[in-house]
Amino acid sequence: MSLIIFDVDATLVYSDKLDSKAFAQTYEDIYSVPFPSIDWSTYPHVTDDTIFKTVIQQHFQRSVTEMERSQFKAAFLATIIENRKLRPTEYKMVPGAKEIMELLINDADYTVGIATGGWKDPAVMKLDFVNIPTAPLLISGADGKTTRHEIIEEVVTQAKEIKASFDRIIYVGDAIWDVKTTRDMQIPLIGIRLKGDREVLQKEGVRHVVKNYLDIPTFMEYVKEAVPPI
């Protein structure tokens, strides 16, 4: 029995940073100041909650209120929807993502989860954009969570409430912060790099990296072989 947890952006869905630009656009529309950077590696933790709190602290030297966070999330979601209306082809499925998700969901040997550094509602919407099924998935986002560790741990906790234990837990992600998180948590990682630049993750100690999910036998072999980044 294995638990496989997927990231969302550039792992299942890609949009050439359209969602990141929407985050910055929403912020600038509300606060009328330039958003510092959409290079998420410059923030203490790569989660929407942390990024939002960090920028508010930098600009206004104060904490975020719950109402303010809720209002920003709603506006961010609306910006994503509007941008997609204007550029309907921008959100694309990572090749083979729907097929591999359906295969795993329908196999009793696997439990499938989503652990995204983004807030949950935008993540679910982006999956819906590309027709990746979400109803049967265990999904955790950055809502109320500072670190990616917490997000992954929530999915693991949800999964263990359904099935007491797992022989393996595997994470699938694309970015350096996915490497750091799974290394810290000692969770096997399958890397994915749409551009084929596998060396970006390999030089960080990731042994198994794919470009997409079109080669299902190879991906499933990696599910069995994957190890934590070294």
- pLDDT tens sequence across 55-103: 999 999 999 999 999 999 999 999 999 999 998 888 999 999 999 999 9
| Token output for 57 | 């602290």
pLDDT-wise least confident of 82-91, 142-151, 169-178, 183-192? 82-91
Percent of residues in the chain assigned helix, strand, coil, to nearest 5: 45, 15, 40
For residues 189 and 171, is the Cβ–Cβ distance under 8 A? yes
Match 């954009």 to its residue by tokens. Answer: 129
Each residue of 187-212: pLDDT tens digit? Answer: 999 999 999 999 999 999 999 999 99
Q: Residues of CATH 1.10.150 domain(s) within the chain?
A: 18-86
Mean per-residue pLDDT, 159-173 = 92
Rounded to an integer, what distance in angstroms lies between the CA atom of residue 100 and that of residue 226? 17
| Residue-level pLDDT at 22 | 96
Phi and psi dihedrals of 197, rounded to 5?
Answer: -85, 65
Query: Regarding the domain delimited by 18-86, which CATH topology (the fold level of the hierarchy) does it fall under?
Result: DNA polymerase; domain 1 (1.10.150)
CATH superfamily for domain 2-15+92-225: HAD superfamily/HAD-like (3.40.50.1000)
C-alpha closest to that of 2 among 152, 206, 178, 169: 169
Name the pTM for this structure: 0.96
Q: Residues of CATH 3.40.50.1000 domain(s) within the chain?
A: 2-15+92-225
Rounded to an integer, what distance in angstroms lies between the CA atom of residue 23 and that of residue 99? 29
CA 136 to chain centre: 17
C-alpha closest to that of 114 among 193, 8, 2: 8
DSSP assignment of 18-84, as one string?
HHHHHHHHHHHHHH-S----S-GGGSSSSSHHHHHHHHHHHHHSSPPPHHHHHHHHHHHHHHHHHHH
Helix axes 18-31, 66-86, angle to 10 degrees: 130
| Residue-level pLDDT at 127 | 96
